[in-house]
Structure 1
Amino acid sequence: MNLIFRLLAVVVAAVAATLRGKRIDLLGASALRFRVWPTDLDINMHMTNARYFSVMDLGRTDLMIRAGLGPVILNKRWQPVLGGATVRYRRPLRPFQRFTLVSRVLCWDEKYIFIEHRMESRKGLAALAVVQGAFVGRSGVVPPAEVLAAIGSDAASPPFPDAAAALRGQGLSTA
């Protein structure tokens, strides 16, 4: 619940940017700036591991809205879900430290979309994650080709980087 204000700020800013014509290309990057607040900390006085994933949710929200998927998701009642994730923690994020979350689509296959999240501070890379996500509709997983078509794209997937290939085939069931 303590991320509700961050979520509202991200959604309002993303919608405003979209209305001003500042959409993100499908393979473009979303960059969001944050600060580590006391509610983000664990007993070691750095951002807790679970909070990284919560902040990454905000990055995917911004990316989806700014790529033009917001109205599509609402109209079709699709739900974005994760099927897998890998993360590498490089440096701790300390109280009140500023950091930037950069999120971008890496590639996709017939079922999943793979997204990279980079958390960067002045000291360098704090964490790097690759997530395997999908949209689920009334009849199950929505193929990425259908998602792309909904925003007017028929782009082919870029080649799979090793980090995405490691997740491939280990996500959501088709049941």
Structure 2
Amino acid sequence: MAPWLRLLKMAASAPFRQRLGWRDESALTFRVWPNDLDVNLHMNNARYLAVMDIGRFDLAIRCGFAGLVWREKLKPVVASAMVRFRRSLAPFQPFTLRSRMIGWDEKWLFIEHRIESGGELYCQAVVKALLLGRAGGLPTADLLRSLAVEAPAVEVPDWLAHWQAAEAGFRG
């Protein structure tokens, strides 16, 4: 199935699924279709990232900040991603994408994605994202306030702080 069809299917069904809280997990099920395959006849690396986009949209809709994105004409953008591919997804194999917020700071949201099949982890990723408006990135405090979420201003696990530090050294 084409990525945009998967996105439309998720968006159409989101209002009928349970609303999610700020830290809740989204779970979406998919299947590997022939147009998802690369020359090795397993799911293409780029397709994993495209499916993860759908997971983030599902979180936005079901957590309630998609309305803010629409009203304020914000653009959800990913600045970086850390991905570990553990196993290959085969043609027609069903899989589940699990997405959840694992941390944030004043500017960035850190979202974990896990792709699982048959109880096994196939791919795990963390993306660093923000909501971009005309004046720049929407501060996380403003997003939390719009969602009426009581949460600390910053919540970054130690290992994410190390990733942030390593990424700072990677800049060219």
Q: Give TM-score, length-normalised by structure 1.
A: 0.90
2:102 matched to 1:103?
no
Unpaired runs of at least 5, structure 2: none
Equivalent residue of 1:168, what SS? helix
Matches within 5 A, 1:59-70: 59-70=55-66
Aligned to 1:28: 24
User: Quick one: which amino acid aligns to residue 133 of structure 2?
Assistant: G
Alpha-carbon distance change, 36 to 28 in structure 1, aligned in 2, over 3 angstroms: same
Q: Give, in whole Å, the separation in 2 of the partners of 1:165 and 1:36.
A: 34
Q: Give, in whole Å, the separation in 1 of the partners of 2:4 and 2:54.
A: 10
Aligned-pair distance for 1:167? Answer: 3.6
Aligned to 1:94: 90
Question: Please, which moves more after superposition, 34-43 or 152-161?
Answer: 152-161
Aligned-pair distance for 1:100? Answer: 0.3
Q: Give, in whole Å, the separation in 2 of the partners of 1:158 and 1:84.
A: 18
Alpha-carbon distance change, 104 to 7 in structure 1, aligned in 2, over 3 angstroms: same
Question: Please, which moves more after superposition, 8-17 or 96-105?
Answer: 8-17
Contact 2:77–2:132 under 8 Å retained in 1: yes
Aligned to 1:10: 10
- CA displacement, residues 22-66 of structure 1 (integer Å, 9 cap, x when unaligned): 211100000000000000000000000000000000000001100
Q: Give, in whole Å, the separation in 2 of the partners of 1:166 and 1:103.
A: 21
> What RMSD in Å do the two structures reach over aligned CA positions?
1.6
2:129 matched to 1:126?
no
Contact 1:132–1:167 under 8 Å retained in 2: no
Aligned to 1:57: 53
- CA displacement, residues 64-95 of structure 1 (integer Å, 9 cap, x when unaligned): 10000111110011110011100000000000
Unpaired runs of at least 5, structure 1: none
Aligned-pair distance for 1:3? Answer: 1.2
Q: Give TM-score, length-normalised by structure 2.
A: 0.91
Aligned to 1:160: 157
Aligned-pair distance for 1:159? Answer: 4.3
User: Quick one: which amino acid aligns to residue 11 of structure 2?
Assistant: V
Contact 1:30–1:102 under 8 Å retained in 2: yes
Q: Give, in whole Å, the separation in 2 of the partners of 1:107 and 1:101.
A: 19
Q: Give, in whole Å, the separation in 1 of the partners of 2:114 and 2:158.
A: 15
Alpha-carbon distance change, 166 to 40 in structure 1, aligned in 2, over 3 angstroms: farther
Q: Give, in whole Å, the separation in 2 of the partners of 1:117 and 1:147.
A: 21
Aligned-pair distance for 1:166? Answer: 3.7
Aligned-pair distance for 1:15? Answer: 2.4
Contact 1:118–1:127 under 8 Å retained in 2: yes
Aligned to 1:150: 146
How many residues get paired? 166
Identity of aligned residues (%): 44
